[in-house]
Chains A and B, each alone.
Chain A
Amino acid sequence: MDMSQYLRMFLDESEEYLQTLNQSLLELEHNPSDEQLINNIFRAAHSLKGMAATMGFDRMANLTHEMENVLDRIRAKKMVLTTGIVDILFKCLDRLDKLVKEISHSGAETSEVDDIIELLQNVDSIKDGAASPTVKSTSVEVDLMDTNSDEQSTIISHLKTDYYCYVLDVELVKDCLLKAVRGFMVIKNLKEAGVVVKSIPSLKEIEDEKFDYEFKILYLTKESEKEIESIVTDITDVKGIQIVRITEDNLTGETGPYIENGIQEVAAAVEVASEESEESNAQLTQQDLKITPTVRVDIDKLDSLMNLVAELLINKTRLEEISNRMNVSNELFGDILQQLDRVTMNLQHTVMQVRMVPIERIFNRFPRMVRDLSKELNKKVNLIIDGAETELDRSIIDSLGDPLVHLLRNAIDHGIEDPETRKKAGKSEFAELRLSAAQKGNEILIQVTDDGRGLDAKKITKKALERGVITRDDLTKMSDHEKIMLIFRPGFSTSEVISDISGRGVGLDVVRKTVESLDGHIYIDTELGKGTTFNISLPLTLAITQALLVKVCDETYAIPLSVIEGAEDITAEQVQMVQGQEVFVLRGHLIPLVWSHKLLGLSIPDLNDNTEQLSVVVIGTGKKQVGLIVSELINQQDIVIKSLGEFLIDVPHISGATILGDGEVALILDVRNIA
C-alpha cells in the first residue's frame, strides 16, 4: 500500500499527540493522582502506537508500546508514579519527537530506541517486581473426552432431546491477530446455536491467548455438521474445522477433577473483567472534551489561496484606478466596483483568518523546557503563560519558536538569580517567568518577562567596549536605552562563561534578525534588580499590509504603515545641524534626518530642485525616530507583499516588492535598519 499520501497527516497528528503527552505528563507530575490525566496520556500514547504501526515505523511503535505498558500499570494502580518514572517517560517523548523529526526529514527512523525501551522495561521490573512474569501457556495435553459427571449428565440429557454431540477441532490461520478474540468469537457463535460443554485448552486459556492455533471443543447442538462448519468458518481467520460426531457409547470414561477448577476460573475471570470495564467506563465518561469539526489543509494550499486573493486584490485596485482615470460615472459600474471591493475585502479577511493558528502551538512546548532547564540550573522558576489563544499567521508562528526559546533560556540562565541570591535580595525563592501574547490593533505583542536581576547598562557598555562592538565616541552619544539595546549587536554576549544553555554562538542578534525578518520589532524594558521584559511586536499577517506610497527620484516606493509615525512637510530652514547630523525639531524632539535617495544610492538628487519644501516621513522603530526625506508623498493603500526571490534576498533597505494599481512594480522600503 502506498503510505506516502498519509505521511503528512501522520506527522502532523503525531506532533499533536506528542504535545498532548508532554503537556499532560507535566501536569501529571504535579497531580499524580489525576485519573483523567493518566487516561489522556494513555490514550494519546495508544493512538500514536496505532498510527506508527500502520505507517510501518516500527521503532516508534515499539517505543510507544513499551510506554503504554508502563502507563497501563500506573493507570491500573499497580505502580506509583515517581519523578524517576516521569523523567524516563519524558526521555521517551523526546526520542519519539526525534523520530518524528527524522521521519519528516528523511522519511525513515534513524535513531535507536533500545536504550529507552530498556529503561521503560526496567521501570517495570523495579517498581513492579512482585508481579509475576507472564507465564507461557503450559497447557497439558488432556483428553477432551475426559469428562466429569456433571458434564456427562448434561450431554446425556441433551442427546435425549434431539441434540447431537460433536468434537470440533478448530484451526486458525497462522497470521491471525488477537487469536484470543477469534477463539472467543468461535465459541460465542457456537453457543448461540448449541451448548459448549468444554474446550481444550479451557475457555479461560483461550481468552488469555494460551493456545497455539488450534483448539478442541466438545459441542452439543441440533444443527448438522454442515451448519456448524458454516457457523465457524464464517468467522475471519478461521482456517478450517474438523467435525467428528460421537455417540453415547463413546462418552463413558473417567472424570477429571481439573475441569471443575477450570470452570470456576472462567467464572472468576468474567467477574473481574466486568468490574474492570465498569471502572474504566466511568472514568471515560467523566471527561468532557470539546471537539469542533475541522478539516486539515496543507499549508501550501493556503499559501496559494492567499496568493490568488492577492492577485485579485491587485486587479481590483487596477480596475479602480482605470475607473478613476477614465472618469467613468456609470452608476452600474460604480456599484459593481463597490461590490467587488466588499467581496475581495471579505475574502482577504477570511483567508487571513484561516491561516491563523493559536500561538499555543509554540507556547505549549515551553513548560517542559522551563522545567528541565530550571532543574538543570538549580533555579526555581514558575512559568506563567498568558494569551496562548492569541492567533497569528501560521508562517509567523513557525519561525517564532526559536527566538522565544532563546529569550526564555536567556531569562532563566542570565536573568533569574539562584534561590540564595534571591532570598538575600528579599525576593521570593521562586522566580516568576511570564510569557504572554496579546493582540493590539493590527499587531501582536509577545512579552517575555522575568523578575530577575535586570540588565545593567554599565556592565553592558563595558562588555561592548571590550568586544569592540562600539567605540568610546559612540558611547557618549548613547542613551541608557540605547546602551541596553547593544545586547542585540552581533558578537555580544553578557555571560562570562559561554554556557551550554544560552550561549551557543547564536546571540540575541539572531533573535532580533528573525523578528525583523517577520516585519516585527523587539525592544527591552528593564529595571536593575527588578527584572527584564523583552517585547516583540509582530504584524498579524505578512502577505497583505497597508502602506504609504512615496516617490523618490521618480521611482515609487512603499513604506509599511506599521512603522510610520507621521508625515511632515518642513521647510529647508527647519533643518539644523547637530554634531554633524541633519535634524529637525518635531514637537520638542530632535529627529535625525535621512535623505532617501542617498540611502538607496540613487544618483539624481531631484530633491535639490525644490529645497523650499521637504516631505518627511517620520519612522519609528521601538523608541527611536528617524525622518526620511522623500520627493513626494503619493497615497496610502493596501499592498500585497511579494518576495524579491532568492537572488535578491539581501538587497539593503528593500524588503520586497508589490504591484500597484497601474501595473507598475514598487519596491517596499525596509526602513527599520535606517534608525
Chain B
Amino acid sequence: MAKRVLIVDDAAFMRMMIKNILTEAGYEIIAEAENGKQAVEKYNELKPDLITMDITMPEMDGISAVREILGSDSGAKIIMCSAMGQQAMVIEAIQAGAKDFIVKPFKNERVLEAVNKVIG
C-alpha cells in the first residue's frame, strides 16, 4: 500500500509542488493543511505515515505543531520544509523530534531522498 502523506504549508503553491513530486513517486497525499493547528487536527484524525511541515505559518507555526504532534504520538514522522536562513528554527524542530528537513527551493530528488529515508 502506498505510504500516506500529510502536506502542511501555508502557500498553496508549495503544497502543490510537494504534492506533485510525491504523487509521481507513488506516495499518496491524504490531506493538506494550511497551518500548524490544522496539521495537528488532520494528524490526529488521519494518522498519516509522514508529514511534511512548513515552519513559518499563521495561527500555529511548524515547530509548535511538531511539538504537539510528537507530544501525543512519539512515533510520528515529520520532515521540515525550510528556507535558507532558518537554520536556528530547523535545529529547534529537529531537537523537538522532526526526522529530517528539506530546503526551499525544492529539488525533486532531494525531496524524495529525504522522504524515502524516513519512510521508504
Contacts and interface: CB of A to CB of B under 8 A. Distances in A.
Interface residues of A, number: 44
Contacts of A53: 83-84, 104-105
Given A1-B108, A42-B56, A236-B113, 10 more contacts: A47-B10, A47-B11, A178-B87, A178-B103, A185-B94, A273-B92, A284-B59, A284-B61, A291-B35, A291-B59
Interface in A276-299: 276-277, 280-281, 284-285, 287-289, 291, 296
A516 to B, nearest CB: 37
B63 A43 contact: no
Interface stretch (B13-21, B44-52, B69-77): B13-21
A180 to B, nearest CB: 4
A144 B58 CA distance: 44
A6 interface: yes
Interface string B73-100: 0000000001111111111101100001
Nearest to A234: B117
Contacts of B103: 177-178
Contacts of A65: 84-85
B14 A54 contact: yes
A600 to B, nearest CB: 50
Interface of B: 10-14, 16-17, 20, 34-35, 38, 56-61, 63-64, 82-92, 94-95, 100-101, 103-108, 110, 113-114, 117
Contacts of A212: none
A277 B63 contact: yes
- Which of B12, B20, B86, B108 has the most C-beta atoms of chain A within 10 angstroms of its own C-beta? B12
A51 B58 CA distance: 17
A268 interface: no
- Which of B13, B85, B88, B106 has the most C-beta atoms of chain A within 10 angstroms of its own C-beta? B13
- Which of A5, A49, A50, A281 has the most C-beta atoms of chain B within 10 angstroms of its own C-beta? A50
B64 A281 contact: yes
A10 interface: yes
Contacts of A413: none
Interface in A650-675: none
8 contacts: A6-B13, A13-B13, A50-B11, A68-B85, A188-B95, A207-B87, A277-B92, A289-B59
Interface of A: 1, 5-6, 9-10, 13, 40, 42-43, 46-47, 49-51, 53-56, 65, 68, 177-178, 180-181, 184-185, 188, 207, 209, 234-236, 273, 276-277, 280-281, 284-285, 287-289, 291, 296
Contact of B16 (A9, A209, A281): A9
A49 B85 CA distance: 11
A50 B94 contact: no
Given A236-B100, A273-B88, A54 B117 contact: no
A54 B103 CA distance: 10
B55 to A, nearest CB: 9
Given A9-B16, A47-B10, A178 B58 contact: no
Nearest to A2: B20
B111 to A, nearest CB: 11
B103 to A, nearest CB: 4
Nearest to A40: B58
Contacts of B100: 185, 235-236
Contact of A13 (B12, B86, B106): B12
Contacts of A288: 59
Given A13-B11, A51-B14, A46 B88 contact: no
A184 B13 contact: no
Contacts of B58: 40, 43, 284, 287, 289, 291
A65 B105 CA distance: 13
A5 B20 CA distance: 11
A296 B32 CA distance: 14
B63 A9 contact: no
Contacts of B94: 181, 184-185, 188
A596 to B, nearest CB: 52
B83 A43 contact: no
A54 B17 contact: yes
A6 B103 CA distance: 18
A188 to B, nearest CB: 6
Contacts of B34: 291
Given A56-B105, A284-B59, A49 B83 contact: yes
A276 B88 CA distance: 10
A646 B8 CA distance: 46
Contacts of B110: 236
Given A6-B17, A50-B11, A178 B59 contact: no
A362 B5 CA distance: 37
B59 A10 contact: no
A9 B117 contact: no
A673 B114 CA distance: 66
A180 B92 contact: no
Given A43-B56, A43-B58, A181-B87, A6 B16 contact: yes
B92 A43 contact: no
- Which of B14, B38, B83 has the most C-beta atoms of chain A within 10 angstroms of its own C-beta? B83
B117 to A, nearest CB: 6
Contacts of A207: 87-88, 91
Nearest to B83: A50
A624 B76 CA distance: 71
Given A1-B108, A178-B90, A51 B11 contact: yes
B61 A296 contact: no
Given A178-B101, A234-B117, A236-B117, A281 B61 contact: yes
A421 B41 CA distance: 60
Contact of A46 (B83, B91, B105): B83
Nearest to B79: A236
Contacts of A184: 91, 94
A234 B88 CA distance: 22
Contacts of A54: 13-14, 17, 104-106
A358 B85 CA distance: 36
B12 A296 contact: yes
- Which of A42, A49, A236, A273 has the most C-beta atoms of chain B within 10 angstroms of its own C-beta? A236
A38 to B, nearest CB: 13
